Amino acid sequence: MTYRQRLSLFILIDSCLVLASLIIGLLIVKETLVEMPSVLAISASILLCHHLFSFKFHLYNKDWAYASIGELIIILKVVAYTVLITFIIHFILFQSIPINLFSIMGLLHFFFIGGSRFCWRVYRDEVMNKKQYKQRTLIIGAGSAGVMVARQLLKSNDDHLIPVAFIDDDKLKHHFDILGLPVVGGVDVLEKVVERMGINHIIIAIPSLNKTILNKIFKECAKTTAKTQILPRLEDIITGKVSVNQFRDVQVEDLLGRKPIQLDIECISEYITNQTVLVSGAGGSIGSEICRQISQFKPKRLVLLGHGENSIYSIHMELEANFKYREIEFITEIADIQDEKKMLAVISAHKPSVVYHAAAHKHVPLMEKNPEEAVKNNIIGTKNIAEAAHWEGVDAFVMVSTDKAVNPTSVMGATKRLAEMVVQHMDTISQTRFVAVRFGNVLGSRGSVIPLFKKQIENGGPVTVTHPDMIRYFMTIPEASRLVIQAGALAKGGEIFVLDMGEPVKVVDLAKNLIKLSGYHIDDIGIEFTGIRPGEKLFEELLKADEVYEQQVYPNIYIGKSSHIFLDEINEILALFESVEKDVLRDILLNLANKKAEGNPQPVMTM
């Protein structure tokens, strides 16, 4: 139906309803004093005034399938002004005041016009929605965000969700209706409500929710058969990236009981903006995210160094597309950090002021089988690029390390610990500020458990976990990258920075959550315990007991003390490692990484 056809239909219907209110009013009051000329004058004036005020208040432009209190107020205004002006005209022309007639006529006028409009919404809600298959949806959170979600879903004819109730822990809201939907109780009754009301879908609509509470709510949702989703991030809604009804699945990252680290923008900008920055391992999970976040600070030049040409090509194309208006020069360097001459040539050619060293072999079981490769990449590679940074006068060098470097039981952890020693030694002889950054397992990175678990779930299970008591610290890729960037800004030289990662998480609980987030029950997929792999331990540490400074140097960031540096022993290993049997080399690496110095280690820096 065109706009003209719709307008003509509304004018015709409204004219009939307005005249009907007058006729019925006359019949009710039986006003004998109202003569025919008076009736004709009332009819003409009330029709004219109604249509004039309807146009003035845009009554004919409303979509009445979505009628609400706002539209009701507009109808009230139209009726009130129409009756008032008609009353004044009648008084001027006939000097009579049939108050009873105008009172009843006004009430009928409001009832007929309002009823004709709102009956369409009732038809849509009660008939059309029932004809279409829509999933009965429970909204957790009866605040402004929850109401916004409910209103949007009620308006949308194409959406497959129909809201039926709210859940909210605010007891003052219980037993009230919002937009016609009842607030049926708190999260503690969620499971019963889902079963009783036949809920198919749950939407968590509380933008200010902290992750600890979200974890609690999700556990209650996981007890039901309903699919659980969450409101898009508020900043994405405000910036227009997504609409309020584009709900997303709850992700494992949402359930980490820790707020993401916030950056000191001013401090970082001072040493990145308009500078040349080099990132080794730029094609990896951490390295590529470091590149993305560095690009937001408008460096003059960003050098992407990596061994794998495909991954470097991928991140280069992404950065070129996303930051093409930032006037940043992105330079690619395909090189192996084990090549000493190449590292010196690259650093010399680009003369970066900051180097982020993220290139490393990180896979624990693979390095157990190939300890010589771990030595080449993690120790020699770090030594090569660190020395090149020293010779070329780089301002700051930030090495990405791991919690597995603490009391290491694996070759990977041992080589990273020895690489830390190399970096700390370089700080004592160089004008360059050398630091290391330790963090735990990174969700979603290559080789992490999340991609493995997801693939196993897609294949129907089972999900394999090494041990029921295995616990790990987890963080997101953006969090890890922010820590590395912030460390460069805080660096004075020689530090080991550590993120306060909250409470460690049981890997088996992570697996259970991921199964539920994928829409399955644990019994459907199953969890199989395979036993601890070579080099693994049940729990990880971020710092040894004698390494910790209790005071945070930045919110959620701690700094470690320097332990003894066994530089001569490291040089001996580098001279002989290729001629040593793998098992012997593994023992040598672990013994040195766990060796304690005679006497108490002294801090090499003060805070």
Decide the pairing of beta strands 227-230 and 248-249: antiparallel
- What CA–CA distance (Å, rounded) separates 376 from 578? 10
- Burial letters 398-422, b for 16+ CB under 10 A, else e: bbbbbbbbbebbbbbbbbbbbbbbb
What's the Cα-to-Cα distance from 562 to each of 422, 488, 496, rounded to whole Å? 12, 17, 8
Catalytic residue, chosen from 362, 376, 383, 404, is 404
Alpha-carbon dihedral angle through residues 525, 530, 536, 541, given to the nearest 10 degrees: 40
Alpha-carbon dihedral angle through residues 44, 47, 50, 52, given to the nearest 10 degrees: -70
- What CA–CA distance (Å, rounded) separates 395 from 489? 11
State yes or no: is 404 an active-site residue: yes
- The packing angle between helices 265-272 and 477-490, to 10°, is 70
**Dihedral sign computed on CA atoms, order 8, 11, 16, 17:** positive
DSSP one-letter string for 24-40: HHHHHHT-TT--HHHHH
Q: What share of the chain is helix, strand, coil (3-state, %, to 5)?
A: 55, 15, 35
Q: Token pair for residue 573?
A: 């290993």
* 248-249 sheet: strands from edge to edge: 161-167, 135-140, 201-204, 227-230, 248-249
Other Cβ atoms within 10 Å of 524 Cβ, number:
12
Q: Which residues are catalytic?
A: 404
